[in-house]
Amino acid sequence: MVCVGNAFDVTTPQDLDERFRAAVGALTPGTAGLPEGMTSELARAVFDAQLTSRHLDLAARWLRSFGEGFYTIGSSGHESNAVVAAALRHTDPAFLHYRSGAFYAARVGQAGLADPVAETARDVLRGVVASTSEPIAGGRHKVFGNAAHHVVPTTSTIASHLPRAVGAAFAIERLRKVNGNGGGSEAPWPADAVVVCSFGDASVNHATATAALNTAGWIDHTGMRLPLLLVCEDNGIGISVKSPAGWVASTLRARPGLRYFAAEGDDPAAAYATAASAVEHVRRSRKPAVLHLSTVRFMGHAGADAEVAYRPAADLERDLTRDPVVATARLLVSCGLATPEELLARYDEVGWQVRKVAEEVLGEPKLTTPAEVVATLAPRRPVRVARTVADLSVSSLTEREAAFGGRLPEDAGPFTLAQTINAALADGLLANPKMAVFGEDVALKGGVYGVTKGLRERFGATRVFDTLLDETSILGLGLGSGLAGMLPVPEIQYLAYLHNAEDQLRGEAATMQFFSGGAYRNPMVVRVAGLAYQEGFGGHFHNDNSVAVLRDIPGLVVAVPARADDAAPLLRTCLASAAVDGSVCVFLEPIALYHTRDLYEEGDNEWLAPYLGPASWSEAHVPIGRARVYNVGSAEDLTIITFGNGVRMSLRVAARLVEEGIGARVVDLRWLAPLPVADVIRESSATGRVLVVDETRRSGGVGEGVLAALVDAGYVGSVSRIASVDSFVPLGPAAREVLVAEDAITQGARALLAR
């Protein structure tokens, strides 16, 4: 029952239990047949999944009542999503909303296990109590996920998993062209799989959801295939804010390229028929669709949510009449498949099973050390990465000559930074048929700066292609295609354009292995053109010097090649690390150095370098987190620690200091995450005087990390820092007023030496 007119205007676990018993007990047996397409076995399986989900919510509240449960966002009222699972195959990858508990229970039931109720309960409740035995996140978060059931874990961030789902569906079709309709032995899902992704009604308003829906329609509009079923579980309210009547339906119907289906959650037979039609449409046509599933929400948003503050009792009463579990019970009773007494007995039996499991998982171990917590974050196997790079050196000479049009890059140079990256990408595409390069303007145009020029002509439009202009969707395509078995290399055209899509790296990419125990990976190398010092072009939006947002992401690898002879080894390491360890790497390319040729004086060509052939790749390999040191003069007086544009400026300054009898060693960090701390400490201790040259901003810049590393290591020498001003980069000559300059480096070095 629902108490009206006082502070208890809320659907409590006891209310829900009593209401269910009363409603089912009042059902009248009948002899009507099941609707066409629904079998008695399917109807019973759906009911069992719904009961399991309902009792899991009750168990989570019970565990929370004495401090042993840590997650109470439930699925009560959403149990109609079980019919969606029933319409799909067990091997269809699923990205689930946090209220899709009955879907998960139904998916476990499709696996043919002896006791699906207990298996589901054990999976979910281990997550609720943060047990290390939980099958996907291992106590790091409560998620719906299990690789054995093809359920990919998703975070709680609103709609953030939708771009990834689009990417996974996109990749399934791309891989069909590589592996054939059989799917290939390395593909995680069948070639005819349908990707399903569920989300809430309030999520349709989120920019990330808008990006995903738009991209799905865009892909379909361009004639490409996208086997994606989006399921909007619409309970009419986002935490406490109502969705305006008709808004969700109007929004979803208006999306071009998406076939719209709608179903009422309190009519299980019709909902199943609609879901089956939607799935059949997507599987047959390989075109995207959205299923708008009308649901209700019981027991508030989560355990601490007092609905009385924003929901009138009449709303709660109305929703209780639409209980999807009662609706399925009504179907079973009206069709003569069970009596009310039998269903209540089954309700109690499932409840007893779930409570028994809840009591069993209470004593299971929790994560107790930092090492345990981060074990799955970003595994590193440097020996295997090095071996992978070495294995690439046996590339067929005939294939390389064909790919490079008969003129191998090692026979052409010396190359600029941009030319070297181009050649290294070509070698990567040649060595790994699952690798794909994509982004804005990368294919036909060859990139704004010509870095990807000619790659589309050499490797085809399925390997090198242009995307729509949306960074969230570009990264989402990379995340999903990495899950599906590809090695994506997306490009973000400018660093300043990354920030609006950064959560796809922070909340999605970097967390995948962390929250799946390594069962799922999204290997990816994101190429980003960035940093400042472009003369006569762009201002801040094309000269962004902020990388703090990247260095703050746990497990992310950030590489910055300053010159041509480092670019190819660093890129090969990133590609190998992505393939071997599932690493998410950002390859930050200094725009101002793309076409730089000279170092000390015009025409010296000392910033160019030959491209090394495969025979030299192993010897030139650069492990993640290893710096490069340039000894200038005696190299005994001063250590300059820098990266990117700072390397060239610092080398020029060091050459001038030699004329004053000062010997310096210039340390190119090369890796901004993880920082090469051991190299920094060693080279700093060698001279006892450290000048940090940081082209990023003084606040939140890379230099702060270097200084912190020195302090943590107990460094006792002298140290000073030259950094850019805390400002956006302005247009034209004014940029020189806020960016690090050679004169400032020279003055900083002299001041440090004078101490």
**Could you identify the residue written with the tokens 């490797």?**
459
Beta partners for residue 692, in sequence order:
641, 721
Same domain, 380 and 313: no
For the chain, what is the domain count? Answer: 3
Does residue 9 sit within a domain? no
Please report, for the domain that includes residue 610, its CATH number: 3.40.50.970
The domain boundary residue, chosen from 363, 385, 418: 363
Same domain, 597 and 553: yes
Please report, for the domain that includes residue 719, its CATH number: 3.40.50.920
Instruction: Point out the catalytic residue in the list 119, 440, 471, 683.
Output: 471
Domain of residue 391, residue span? 375-616
Same domain, 489 and 455: yes
Convert the pLDDT of each residue in 102-148 to its tens digit. 999 999 999 999 999 999 999 999 999 999 999 999 999 999 999 99
Report CA-CA distances (Å) from 576 to 367, 527, 606, 607, 624. 31, 15, 29, 26, 11
Burial class (CB in 10 A: 0-12, 13-18, 19+), 414: middle
Same domain, 464 and 415: yes
Query: Over 80: is that where the pLDDT of 396 sits?
Result: no
pLDDT-based confidence at residue 316 (cuts at 50, 70, 90): confident
Same domain, 358 and 404: no
CB 477 within 8 Å of CB 212:
no
Query: Over 70: is that where the pLDDT of 289 sits?
Result: yes
The strands making up 94-95's β-sheet, listed across from edge to edge, are 151-152, 94-95, 195-200, 228-234, 289-294, 259-264
Does residue 368 sit within a domain? no
Burial class (CB in 10 A: 0-12, 13-18, 19+), 180: exposed
Helical (H) or strand (E) element with 720: strand 718-724
> In sequence order, which residues have a C-beta less than 8 Å from that of residue 60 and are 6 or more positions away?
69, 71, 72, 74, 125, 128, 303
Average pLDDT over residues 2-21: 68
Convert the pLDDT of each residue in 636-665 to its tens digit. 999 999 999 999 999 999 999 999 999 999
CB 421 within 8 Å of CB 455:
no
| Active-site residue, 621 included | no
Residue 601 DSSP symbol: S
Convert the pLDDT of each residue in 218-264 to its tens digit. 999 999 999 999 999 999 999 999 999 999 999 999 999 999 999 99
The reported pLDDT for the residue numbered 40 is 94
The domain boundary residue, chosen from 363, 396, 415: 363
Query: Over 60: is that where the pLDDT of 1 sits?
Result: no
Does residue 539 sit within a domain? yes
pTM: 0.94
Same domain, 289 and 429: no
Average pLDDT over residues 422-442: 96
The reported pLDDT for the residue numbered 534 is 87
Does residue 15 sit within a domain? no
Does residue 391 sit within a domain? yes
The reported pLDDT for the residue numbered 5 is 36
The reported pLDDT for the residue numbered 308 is 80
Instruction: Point out the catalytic residue in the list 206, 542, 589, 704.
Output: 542
Helical (H) or strand (E) element with 581: helix 564-581
CA-closest candidate to residue 162, choices 228, 112, 111: 228
Same domain, 379 and 275: no
Query: Over 50: is that where the pLDDT of 6 sits?
Result: no
Same domain, 746 and 612: no
Convert the pLDDT of each residue in 689-733 to its tens digit. 999 999 999 999 999 999 999 999 999 999 999 999 999 998 888
Same domain, 598 and 692: no
| Active-site residue, 221 included | no
Same domain, 418 and 320: no
Does residue 445 sit within a domain? yes
Report CA-CA distances (Å) from 462 to 424, 491, 510, 620. 19, 16, 26, 31
Does residue 166 sit within a domain? yes
Candidate from 271-275, 415-419, 541-545, 553-557 with smallest mean pLDDT? 541-545
Secondary-structure percent of the chain, ordered helix, strand, coil, rounded to 5: 45, 15, 40
Same domain, 410 and 340: no
The domain boundary residue, chosen from 561, 591, 616: 616
Same domain, 442 and 543: yes
Convert the pLDDT of each residue in 199-218 to its tens digit. 999 999 999 999 999 999 99
Does residue 13 sit within a domain? no
Amino acid present at 380: R
